Structure 1
Amino acid sequence: MTLRIYFSAPAADWPEYGPHLTSAFAEAGIAAELSPELGDPAKVDYIVYAPNPDLTDFTPFTRCKAVLSLWAGVERIVTDPTLTQPLCRMVDPGMTESMVEYVTGHVLRHHLGMDTHILGKDGVWRHDSKPPLARERPVAMLGLGQLGQACAASLRALRFPVLGWSRTAKDIAGVECHAGESGLRAVLSRAQIAVLLMPLTEGTRDLMNADRLALMPKGAVIVNPGRGPLIDDAALLAALDSGQIGHATLDVFRTEPLPPDHRFWSHPRVTVTPHIAADTKAVTATRVIAENIRRAEAAEPLLHLVDRQRGY
């Protein structure tokens, strides 16, 4: 049987994803008619999805067996009341590798104080700016999903003590795991660097507010490649102005692209990167999509199925 698969994503994505999906389906033995053109929604078996204005009502897709997201975050779709089909988020091995590289690179940058020497080309011999050993620098990993665990493992391999926090309790080898509000406060009070990799839900929005930023050791560093609204922008700017937070490296923002007049651009203690930490990689993500379709057709459990109550 030939499956009808609708590619519902921004038009600019089709030239890259179309060939990789076709190849991935062939490798998985899936006979598929793949198209970015909708046709009759009642005949669609699966939707490969990224947020776009062409699809906001899933009601007509009466035969659709699953919506397979190309994005790790599903906050733009998970609350859609018309979405009754199973929803799977993207956990892409290529994206995980990219995130590990970004997080490890920026943690090392701040740990080693590299900016002091890269930017301080003024003839001053700053011999007193030597860093401690990694094992003396606790790093908080806020969010212990696939990305958080992979980044924690990389940092642990460099001997950083990793203090992990998640909304529900976890047990991860080599990571000191905490959960709940008391656990968050305990982690932040010790973390000299905090990495934010939680999903965006109503429970994590503005997680890093003035109260929680004040818990961190003075001069601590924030690295946020997760979601922009995890941080209260005004509270972060105030903490940076006072020196409570020594630096913030931010890859994600409430409004993207970040408006040119936003204070983050000009603040001397902020590094802005333009949402480049970890894009979905078509060559690896399409294999995840193909595997989930194979599983659905074989009546096997879907990978990365979203829990609608938790929002991820």
Structure 2
Amino acid sequence: MPVILFAVPALWDEYHAPLTEALSQAGIAAHLVAYHEIKDQGGNIDPSQVDYILTAPTAPLVDYAPFTRAKLVQNLWAGVERITGNATLTQPLSRMADPGLTEGMVEWVVGHSLRHHLGLDRYTVNPDRIWDPTCPPLARERKVAMLGLGVLGLASARALKALNFNVTGWSRTPKDIKDFPCEHGEDGLRRALKGADIVVTLLPKTPETENVLNAETLALLAPGAAVLNPGRGPLIDDEALLYALDHGTLGHAALDVFRVEPLPKDHPFWAHPKVTVTPHVAADTRAATASVLIAENIRRGEAGESFLHLVDRVRGY
């Protein structure tokens, strides 16, 4: 019977029932224990007897060295940049690709894309009661650049394409995706951004992706373009973004993630008329659907099969 350590005390009550059910449905008889039950936390579970660890970068567990038998560390977040640099974490690491998280991200991206595409702000904020019957172009006339073609990026890109947006994807490395135009590398980034009306950033945070949207790349966009960032705060040069908004190059920025969170109350994004701040709510891990994925990875571990969504430690995601 595998021992599974749930190492995020704040989420124990949320996950305990759905995870227990998911493990049962997967045919896994397991001993699910909370972080406080580990011996060095005053409990009676020996770390060397733990087979699987469920954690998140905000969890109090920081030393993975005593968990010598652990087959997998399963992250509960999609982002892993806060945990990959932990030198004690030598076990295989899997990132979360929760279907519920993906659905939430798609909804956020589609919602803000349609908001910009249809120009909804001019109707919702219209104190002078201006009657402007100008119709927007069709979605197929809007170029969208999707930066990042992982699980979240590709799902969002496909949803926009289903609405007839003209979507081009970009990733750092080549991808061959059937019936979907993909660019890669620095030249490909410029091609994807050139004339784009909407840009969505869903890249992981790595040294190579930091400030991927900067003064030079923002200048490639169509006049009045919208930037949507539900990925990671450091993907955008904040000063370059504000300059482009202030000087009319960009029309709007919808930002869900930031270099510092919570976003400081004196940050200029809060008061800027062309910036929408959402408090890191574009996508969240849902315990019910995440538990099914966790149970499947544990089933695979017990069956000697390959784990899903393993992190490449060299790439950092």
TM-score by length of 1: 0.97
How far off is 1:255 after superposition?
Answer: 1.1
1:257 equivalent in alignment to 2:262: yes
Hey, what does 2:177 align to over in structure 1? 172
Asked whether the 8 Å contact 2:4–2:33 carries over to 1, the reply is: yes
How far off is 1:52 after superposition?
Answer: 2.8
Hey, what does 1:154 align to over in structure 2? 159
Output the CA distance in 1 between the equivalents of 2:103 and 2:67: 34
Match of 1:135 among 125, 132, 140: 140
Q: Residues 189-268 of structure 1 correspond to what in structure 2 (within 5 A)?
A: 189-268=194-273
Hey, what does 2:22 align to over in structure 1? 24
Q: Residues 80-99 of structure 1 correspond to what in structure 2 (within 5 A)?
A: 80-99=86-105
Aligned residue for 2:260, secondary structure, equals coil
Match of 1:302 among 299, 307, 310: 307
After TM superposition, the structure 1 stretch with the greater mean CA deviation from structure 2, 107-116 or 34-43, is 34-43
Output the CA distance in 2 between the equivalents of 1:307 and 1:24: 27
Residue by residue over 1:179-200, the C-alpha shift from the partner in whole angstroms, topping out at 9 and shown as x without a partner, is 0000001111121100111111
Output the CA distance in 2 between the equivalents of 1:283 and 1:242: 45
> Tell me, which stretches of 5 or more residues in structure 2 are unaligned?
40-45
Output the CA distance in 2 between the equivalents of 1:216 and 1:153: 21
1:102 equivalent in alignment to 2:95: no
Aligned residue for 2:288, secondary structure, equals helix
How far off is 1:235 after superposition?
Answer: 1.2
Aligned residue for 1:190, secondary structure, equals coil
Asked whether the 8 Å contact 1:219–1:243 carries over to 2, the reply is: yes
Asked whether the 8 Å contact 1:197–1:226 carries over to 2, the reply is: yes
Hey, what does 2:42 align to over in structure 1? none
Asked whether the 8 Å contact 1:192–1:217 carries over to 2, the reply is: yes
Q: Residues 112-131 of structure 1 correspond to what in structure 2 (within 5 A)?
A: 112-128=118-134, 130-131=135-136
Asked whether the 8 Å contact 1:227–1:253 carries over to 2, the reply is: yes
Residue by residue over 1:75-111, the C-alpha shift from the partner in whole angstroms, topping out at 9 and shown as x without a partner, is 0111211111000000011111111111111100100
Aligned residue for 1:249, secondary structure, equals strand
Amino acid at match of 1:202: P
Output the CA distance in 2 between the equivalents of 1:101 and 1:151: 8
Residue by residue over 1:254-297, the C-alpha shift from the partner in whole angstroms, topping out at 9 and shown as x without a partner, is 11111111100000000001111110011000110110000011
Hey, what does 1:71 align to over in structure 2? 77
Hey, what does 2:12 align to over in structure 1? 14
Output the CA distance in 1 between the equivalents of 2:106 and 2:190: 25
Output the CA distance in 2 between the equivalents of 1:141 and 1:53: 31
Percent of aligned pairs with the same amino acid: 60
Asked whether the 8 Å contact 1:156–1:174 carries over to 2, the reply is: no
Hey, what does 1:50 align to over in structure 2? 56
Aligned residue for 2:219, secondary structure, equals helix
How far off is 1:24 after superposition?
Answer: 0.9
Amino acid at match of 2:262: P
Output the CA distance in 2 between the equivalents of 1:190 and 1:148: 20
Aligned residue for 1:21, secondary structure, equals helix
TM-score by length of 2: 0.95
When the two chains are superposed, the root-mean-square deviation of aligned CA atoms in Å is 1.1
How far off is 1:239 after superposition?
Answer: 1.1
Aligned residue for 1:6, secondary structure, equals strand
How far off is 1:42 after superposition?
Answer: 1.1
How far off is 1:31 after superposition?
Answer: 1.3
How far off is 1:242 after superposition?
Answer: 0.8
How far off is 1:53 after superposition?
Answer: 5.0
Match of 2:150 among 145, 169, 174: 145
